[in-house]
């Protein structure tokens, strides 16, 4: 899954997947998936002049559930590594979001 590079001191890339939700790669390299289900969240962040402030206001302060994922889990969303994944990639990531547990598969 390709993320879109953005200009921000906190965020390096942002993406959206219709079945998983908002995807954010932070400047430190961590990738987080946020389960909102509303593409308007992605649109609002992308339209904001300050992506970091918009993210803080719309995601962090609203307590949108999120989970850190590994780079390889991000690649699942494009259908990669079909022979190595435990199940459907979207099902797998949604299960991580439900439990709020850290990604431990890879």
Q: What is the pLDDT of residue 98?
A: 66
Q: Which two tokens stand for residue 12?
A: 């390096």
Q: pTM of the full predicted structure? A: 0.76
Domain ranges of the chain: 4-99
| pLDDT, tens digit, 9 for 90 and up, residues 39-92 | 899 999 999 999 999 999 999 888 888 888 888 778 777 665 444 445 566 676
Are 76 and 93 within 8 A, CB to CB? yes
DSSP 24-83: EEETTS-EEEE----HHHHHHHHHSS-HHHHHIIIIITTT--EEEE-HHHHHHTTT--TT
pLDDT bin (cut points 50, 70, 90) of residue 99 is low
């Amino acid at each position: 899954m390709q993320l879109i590079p953005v200009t921000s001191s906190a965020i390096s890339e942002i993406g959206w997947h219709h079945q998983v939700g908002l995807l954010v790669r932070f400047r430190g390299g961590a990738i987080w998936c946020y389960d909102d289900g509303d593409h308007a969240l992605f649109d609002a962040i992308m339209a904001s002049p300050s992506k970091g402030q918009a993210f803080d206001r719309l995601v962090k302060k609203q307590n949108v559930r999120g989970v850190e994922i590994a780079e390889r889990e991000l690649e699942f969303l494009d259908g990669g590594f079909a022979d190595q994944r435990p199940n459907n990639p979207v099902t797998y990531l949604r299960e991580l979001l439900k439990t709020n547990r850290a990604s431990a598969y890879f």
